[in-house]
Amino acid sequence: MSEDEVRQQARKAGMTPREYCLREISEWKEMLHTVSDDYGGLDDDEFDELVEKEIDSFRAEQESED
């Protein structure tokens, strides 16, 4: 999503871009708990660490494909 799209969506939701992004992150984090067994039972720090590792790995894969 581009910065312009974030700003537009935030305006529609009556939020600042920061608030909008934080809300979206929160919702996606909850969804990860729902759809992936890898995240069940983790405390917040463990969850955040695993998410960061997986995001880094995903980005590296995407860059290698380009």
pLDDT, mean of residues 53-66: 90
What pLDDT band is residue 49 in, cutting at 50, 70 and 90? very high
Cβ-contact 57, 35 below 8 angstroms: no
Share of the chain above pLDDT 90, in %: 61
- Cα distance between residue 16 and residue 8, in whole Å: 10
- Residue 54: phi and psi, rounded to 5, are -70, -35
DSSP letters spanning 5-63: HHHHHHHHHTS-HHHHHHHHHHHHHHHHHHH-GGGTT--HHHHHHHHHHHHHHHHHHHH
